């Protein structure tokens, strides 16, 4: 059995596959219907309107509908696109066992414990036929896939086949008057739309299931007599063919396999059995340890089965569908239908070569697994799982066309892995001795070599070399030198694909691809959520691979993307140009055309082949948000600019690439305040003061303008800003500008006019304006403030700016590789020159920008720059009034020499941390609290994040350090990585260093134990809760530590529950009965022996004082069983002696120590074995069903009964 998907849930009673999508419906004993994507392994939706168990569920073949039937006597038809129930069909009087849609007609058939089968029309929403005849519960009913028949199974020990031909005619034929009359009569006096055709008797107990064969006139049934029976039928009669015995308990479900001559059955004996229809024998058995099986379902199109059991369901295949193949140059050798075949890629010629033996064994999965070809000797090695792993060596005749069906006598040997390592030598893995046997074409051993690691499979790694796979690593082993050439830690590798030049290798595991060189030096690792199926290298060194539903590419640096989607899985054999050659699951060769433009473009960027990049931009239709995002991420926003016409996107890219001119043009088109503000920020970062000034003017941001003039030392324009503030009657603006200018008189005047006479007086007096100060003092009289004595006065003047020349000094660099070359895309002639000049002047053209007469306060005046030059003396050069065309050409020449290219920031480390991590602790450390919360909600059902807030903040601050550069510069944040060393590559990022470690939890646990021993229950409770709140954010290395973390959750949960009960008991002063109950429950928590003794001693004392002597005696006995210290033992014996004189209880307690129970974490009442309960998905505390949906009172984090995937605290869990 190849398990593809598994769920954990309540008992699954009904299953149904969707015919097109990778979905499966599971109806549960709890009343919930779950819709799963078995390919992605995710729960898509849940439907819970039924009251009680839902035993039957079925998808419609073409419509977005499914039907369900439950113990509430209701049949519900649902629309899964609308996420709701469309209508309910009422009529059955007891539990409904199965429901099924008809393949063609708008019918539903249902079987019920009311001993009837009903056929409903789901379009008219009416019952169109009731099939009566069974005299016990009808356990199942289903339509024949092609004929007008229904088969049903009942606990009356019979299987019945019903003919519904009349019902079909009534539905299809146009009813004339006579027909309508007869129809009316049959409706009134009991219809004959469905009649019993055969009654199949032979089972000794109730029959649980019966099913038709998809094409042959066969029926299979399974019953409580533990037998599976096979029946045949013809037009007149039906009879028993054979009985299949082997199940040890009631057979729950049985069905024919759609594509193979086998029967699959499952049973309450916890097994699934596969039977050969032709030989009538058992082929294989799959068992579960604790779960009984209840239901089977088969996919209508694919080779998939599903089985529901007590604690969930599994989706599985019985046999591998991957054909064994080997590519050699322009051809491929592969196996199909007991033949070795040859296919030539260039001519697409497909030839059958020779027949190969089929195993005589009866078990499944015995077909060829791998194939190895030697072109010089024209020999083929085929490996399979026959006899625990064996190989067969065939020599292909030169003139072989393989029409004969007799297989040549192949040379055989034991060994699951065999492959050619040289022209006429092949290697066979001997697992038992961990060695490789090198053999010649006569199947004789030539050489033996011990392997350097415990190897479970070998792969080809060049002539004379083997790639050996261990559990967690692969090594390349030289058979001649007997040395290890390379070693790499990997997840479990399933397939190995070498590039044509043998320089690169792709190691394919279930959910990951590792790219390495020929010495196994790691290049990159790719993680996929969907299973990886196959791959091949193209001529450019790009790895093309397939998952279950996509063809994808992987560049040498690890960047990947989707080429196209797939309807069915394929296995790539070769990639040539824009064509992918592959085999499908039926063993057919297919050629698929792909568009390689995207990955060739990215590869050219990666390899710095900028000529190719520019020609592709000019000639191809590359576009889309993904491509723009990729170019941004890789530091080529200036290239992305040429794909974009949307002004807002152009604006963002221009800012990112530092292209202020394009940003200005886009800002003009958009003309929104926010964009002008962002333009101002970027221009200020570049030191382009003129653009900053223009942006502030456009938004009328006078405060920022004033400050800009202050830091650039433009006092004239500051004076004008003072006048503008005066005109606008902006008192604060006036005062600020006067302060910036150092104009004392203006400040005094402003304060006086605003009515702040004391402040005006102090300002005038301090700065030596004697006359003004005297006048103001006279006005204030006695209210004049006294100036502090002995203080030294100084004039408050702003510091002089370092540079007063407008723009700050700009970094001069050579023009970027794409500048100019790409600016000309789509343009022609002389216009190209002008646009290039405009784009390259980097902040020299403010006058051009400002001349368009915008509606803002004009502050800039001509001739201001020259004033500085006059003061300097120096070269007495005057501006020449040159013709405009000459000025333009000089600008062009200037732009070609150099330009400013702002360096683009790389991806923050915190973003790299979360890209491929599903660990909440790492997301919190990176500062992505929202994704951390979503992960915890999905994994552990956590909804209350208030207790976790301090932990989140500590994780984030603890995984970063902060450096101060200058007093005026912002603090620089540096990410701290786990296990960083100076020799570490700057391109490979490690996960974050976390402040919470598992070792710290051990220390906290010891402290909590000590507090419990000392009787400091509140302190102990706080410490155990702290442990429970820290664990969701802890990250550990190994699977062993994961198990220890899970054990720690259980320990902390038990103590929190017990301590909460003890704290509650101490609060109950007046309720002696409840005090005794809580003390008793405390003894049933899973505690350390020393604490259990104290709890038993406490419960014994409380019950003895309360007069419950029998209960106190039971605690005394339990205490003595723990081998207590002498003082405790003495006290227990005294109590036991006293109680034995009067073994009675004064009060009736809700406590039975003989019946195993757990304590409800919210109500503190016992939940005895067999009673229903719900659990917290995180701490696993148990609760009475009424608490479902409420916050867990033990951990104070998760919602009771919530669906959750489970704790994820280590990268090892994801491998």
Could you write out the three-class secondary structure of 919-980? Answer: CHHHHHHCCCHHHHHHHHHHHHCECCCHHHHHHHHHHHHHCEEEECCCCCCCCEEEECECCC
Average pLDDT over residues 838-857: 37
- Cα maximum dimension of the chain: 130
* Cβ pair 438, 446 in contact under 8 A: yes
Helix axis angle, 689-698 to 702-712, nearest 10°: 160
Any idea which residue has 């080779």 for tokens? Answer: 303
1075 exposed, middle or buried (CB, 10 Å; 0-12, 13-18, 19+)? buried
Write the pLDDT tens digit of every residue in 876-935: 434 444 444 444 444 444 444 445 666 767 677 777 777 778 888 888 888 888 889 988
Q: Tell me how far CA of residue 248 lies from CA of 18, 269, 270, 294, 295, in angstroms.
A: 32, 6, 9, 14, 17
Task: Give the whole-angstrom CA distance, residue 66 versus residue 72.
Answer: 18
Q: Can you read off the two tokens belonging to residue 490?
A: 């990997």
Write the pLDDT tens digit of every residue in 694-744: 888 888 888 888 888 887 777 888 888 888 888 888 888 888 888 888 888
Q: Can you read off the two tokens belonging to residue 940?
A: 């552990």
Q: Tell me how far CA of residue 274 lies from CA of 177, 215, 244, 454, in angstroms.
A: 53, 19, 10, 34
At 1012, give phi and psi (nearest 5°): -65, -45
Signed CA dihedral, 633, 636, 637, 643: sign only: negative
460 exposed, middle or buried (CB, 10 Å; 0-12, 13-18, 19+)? middle
Which of these, 1175, 1176, 1156, 1174, lies nearest to 1166 by C-alpha position?
Answer: 1156
* Cβ pair 1202, 1187 in contact under 8 A: no
Give the per-residue pLDDT at 1054. 93
Give the per-residue pLDDT at 986. 62
Task: Give the whole-angstrom CA distance, residue 791 versus residue 797.
Answer: 18
Q: Tell me how far CA of residue 47 lies from CA of 44, 580, 876, in angstroms.
A: 11, 42, 87
Q: Can you read off the two tokens belonging to residue 1039?
A: 């699977």
Task: Give the whole-angstrom CA distance, residue 932 versus residue 920.
Answer: 5
Give the per-residue pLDDT at 980. 73
Angle formed at CA 221 by CA 217 and CA 223, multiple of 5 degrees: 165
Its pTM stands at 0.55
Average pLDDT over residues 274-293: 89
* Bridge partner residues of 448 (DSSP): 437
- Give the rounded distance of the alpha carbon of 1159 from its chain centre: 35
Write the pLDDT tens digit of every residue in 212-244: 999 899 999 999 999 999 999 998 889 999 999
Q: Tell me how far CA of residue 240 lies from CA of 199, 201, 216, in angstroms.
A: 11, 9, 15
Give the per-residue pLDDT at 833. 37
Other Cβ atoms less than 10 A from the Cβ of 944: the count is 13
* Cβ pair 1009, 1088 in contact under 8 A: yes
59 exposed, middle or buried (CB, 10 Å; 0-12, 13-18, 19+)? buried
Q: Can you read off the two tokens belonging to residue 1034?
A: 């802890």
Q: Which helix H or strand E contains 1085, and what residues bound it?
A: none
Buried b (16+ CB within 10 A) or exposed e, 801-832: eeeeebbeebeeeebbbbbbbbbeeeeeeeee
At 328, give phi and psi (nearest 5°): -140, 105
Give the per-residue pLDDT at 637. 67
Q: What is the DSSP letter of 232?
A: E
Helix axis angle, 1109-1121 to 1126-1140, nearest 10°: 150
Task: Give the whole-angstrom CA distance, residue 833 versus residue 1066.
Answer: 89
Average confidence score pLDDT of the chain? 82
Other Cβ atoms less than 10 A from the Cβ of 38: the count is 21
- Residue 451 pLDDT > 80: yes
- Residue 551 pLDDT > 60: yes
């Amino acid at each position: 059995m190849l398990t593809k998907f598994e769920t954990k849930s309540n008992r699954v009673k009904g299953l149904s596959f969707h015919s097109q999508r990778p979905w499966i419906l599971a109806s549960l004993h709890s009343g919930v219907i779950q819709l799963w994507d078995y390919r992605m392994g995710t729960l898509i939706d849940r439907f819970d309107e039924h009251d009680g168990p839902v035993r039957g569920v079925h998808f419609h073949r073409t419509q977005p509908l499914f039907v369900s039937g439950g113990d509430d006597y209701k049949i519900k038809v649902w629309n899964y696109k609308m996420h709701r129930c469309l209508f309910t069909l009422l009529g059955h009087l007891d539990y409904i066992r199965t429901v099924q849609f008809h393949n063609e007609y708008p019918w539903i058939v249902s079987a019920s414990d009311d001993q009837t089968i009903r056929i409903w029309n789901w379009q008219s929403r009416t019952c169109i036929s009731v099939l009566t005849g069974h005299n016990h519960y009808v356990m199942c009913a289903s339509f024949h896939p092609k004929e007008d028949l229904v088969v049903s199974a009942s606990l009356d020990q019979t299987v019945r086949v019903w003919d519904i031909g009349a019902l079909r005619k009534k539905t299809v034929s146009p009813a004339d008057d006579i027909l309508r009359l007869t129809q009316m009569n049959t409706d009134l006096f009991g219809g004959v739309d469905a009649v019993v055709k055969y009654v199949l008797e032979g089972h000794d107990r109730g029959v649980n299931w019966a099913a038709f064969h998809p094409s042959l006139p066969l029926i299979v049934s399974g019953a409580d007599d533990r037998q599976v029976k096979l029946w045949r039928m013809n037009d007149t009669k039906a009879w028993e063919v054979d009985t299949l015995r082997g199940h040890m308990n009631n057979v729950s479900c049985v069905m024919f396999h759609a594509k193979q001559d086998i029967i699959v059955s499952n049973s309450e004996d916890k097994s699934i059995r596969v039977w050969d229809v032709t030989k009538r024998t058992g082929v294989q058995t799959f068992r579960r340890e604790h779960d009984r099986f209840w239901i089977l379902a088969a996919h209508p199109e694919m080779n998939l089965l599903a089985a529901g059991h007590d604690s969930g369901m599994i989706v599985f295949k019985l046999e591998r569908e991957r054909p064994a193949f080997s590519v050699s140059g322009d051809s491929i050798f592969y196996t199909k239908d007991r033949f070795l075949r040859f296919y030539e890629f260039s001519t697409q010629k497909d030839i059958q070569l020779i027949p190969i033996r089929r195993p005589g064994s009866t078990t499944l999965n015995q077909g060829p697994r791998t194939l190895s070809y030697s072109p010089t000797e024209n020999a083929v090695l085929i490996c399979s799982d026959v006899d625990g792993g064996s190989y067969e060596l065939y020599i292909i005749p030169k003139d072989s066309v393989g029409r004969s069906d007799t297989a040549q006598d192949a040379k055989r040997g034991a060994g699951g892995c065999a492959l050619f390592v040289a022209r006429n030598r092949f290697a066979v893995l001997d697992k038992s001795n961990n060695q490789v046997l090198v053999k010649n074409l006569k199947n004789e051993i030539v050489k033996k070599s011990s392997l350097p690691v415990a190897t479970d499979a070998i792969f080809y790694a060049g002539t004379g070399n083997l790639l050996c796979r261990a559990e967690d690593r692969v090594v390349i082993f030289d058979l001649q030198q007997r040395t290890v050439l390379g070693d790499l830690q990997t997840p479990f590798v399933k397939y190995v694909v070498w590039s044509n030049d043998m320089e690169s290798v792709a190691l394919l595991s279930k959910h990951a691809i590792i790219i390495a060189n020929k010495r196994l030096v790691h290049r990159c690792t790719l993680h996929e959520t969907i299973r990886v199926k196959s791959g091949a290298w193209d001529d450019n060194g790009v790895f093309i691979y397939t998952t279950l539903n996509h063809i994808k590419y992987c560049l040498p640096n690890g960047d990947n993307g989707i080429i196209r989607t797939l309807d069915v899985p394929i296995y790539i054999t070769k990639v040539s140009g824009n064509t992918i050659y592959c085999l499908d699951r039926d063993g057919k060769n297919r050629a698929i055309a792909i568009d390689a433009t995207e990955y060739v473009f990215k590869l050219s960027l990666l390899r710095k082949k900028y000529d190719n990049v520019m020609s592709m931009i000019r000639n191809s239709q590359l576009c889309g948000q993904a491509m723009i995002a990729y170019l941004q991420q890789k530091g080529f926003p200036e290239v992305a600019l040429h794909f974009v016409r949307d002004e807002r996107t152009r604006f963002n890219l221009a800012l990112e690439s530092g292209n202020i001119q394009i940003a200005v043009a886009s800002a003009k088109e958009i003309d929104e305040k926010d964009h002008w503000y962002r333009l101002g920020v970027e221009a200020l970062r570049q030191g382009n003061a003129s653009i900053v000034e223009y942006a502030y003017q456009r938004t009328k941001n006078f405060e920022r303008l004033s400050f800009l003039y202050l830091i650039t030392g433009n006092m004239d324009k500051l004076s004008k800003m003072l006048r503008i503030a005066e005109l606008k009657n902006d008192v604060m603006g006036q005062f600020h500008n006067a302060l910036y200018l150092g104009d004392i008189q203006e400040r005094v005047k402003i304060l006086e006019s605003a009515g702040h006479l004391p402040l005006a007086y102090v300002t005038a007096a301090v700065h030596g304006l004697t006359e003004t100060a005297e006048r103001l003092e006279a006005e204030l009289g006695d209210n004049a403030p006294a100036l502090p004595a002995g203080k030294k006065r100084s004039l408050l003047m702003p510091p002089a700016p370092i540079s007063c020349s407008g723009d700050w000094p700009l970094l001069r660099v050579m023009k970027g590789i794409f500048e100019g070359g790409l600016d000309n895309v789509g343009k022609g002639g002389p216009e190209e020159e002008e646009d290039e000049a405009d784009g390259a002047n980097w902040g020299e053209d403010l006058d051009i920008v400002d001349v368009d007469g915008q509606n803002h306060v004009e502050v800039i005046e001509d001739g201001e720059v020259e004033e500085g030059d006059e003061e300097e003396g120096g070269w007495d050069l005057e501006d020449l009034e040159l013709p405009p065309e000459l000025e333009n050409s000089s600008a062009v020449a200037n732009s070609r020499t150099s330009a400013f290219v702002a360096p683009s920031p790389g991806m923050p480390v915190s973003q790299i941390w979360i890209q491929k991590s599903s660990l909440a602790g790492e997301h919190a450390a990176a500062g992505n609290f929202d994704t951390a919360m979503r992960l915890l909600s999905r994994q552990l059902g956590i909804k209350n994040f208030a207790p976790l807030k301090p932990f989140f903040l500590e994780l984030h601050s603890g995984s970063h350090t902060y450096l101060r550069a200058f007093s005026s510069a912002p603090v620089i944040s540096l990410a701290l990585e786990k296990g960083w060393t100076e020799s570490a590559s700057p391109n490979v990022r490690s996960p974050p260093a976390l402040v919470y470690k598992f070792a710290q939890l051990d220390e906290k646990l010891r402290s909590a134990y000590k507090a419990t021993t000392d009787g400091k229950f509140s302190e102990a409770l706080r410490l155990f809760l702290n442990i429970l709140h820290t664990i969701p954010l802890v990250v550990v290395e190994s699977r062993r530590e994961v198990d220890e973390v899970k054990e720690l959750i259980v320990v902390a949960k038990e103590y929190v529950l017990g301590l909460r009960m003890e704290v509650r008991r101490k609060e109950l002063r007046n309720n002696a009965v409840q005090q005794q109950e809580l003390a008793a429950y405390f003894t049933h928590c899973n505690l350390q022996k020393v604490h259990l003794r104290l709890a038993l001693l406490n419960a014994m004392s409380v019950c003895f004082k309360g007069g419950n002597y029998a209960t106190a005696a039971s605690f005394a006995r339990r205490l003595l069983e723990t081998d207590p210290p002498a003082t405790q033992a003495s006290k227990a014996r005294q109590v036991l002696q006293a109680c034995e004189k009067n073994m009675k209880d004064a009060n009736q307690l809700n406590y039975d120590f003989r019946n195993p129970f757990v304590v409800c974490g919210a109500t503190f009442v016992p939940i005895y074995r067999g009673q229903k309960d719900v659990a917290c998905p995180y701490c696993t505390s148990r609760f009475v069903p009424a608490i479902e949906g409420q916050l867990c009172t033990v951990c104070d984090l998760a919602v009771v009964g919530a669906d959750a995937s489970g704790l994820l605290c280590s990268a090892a869990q994801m491998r």
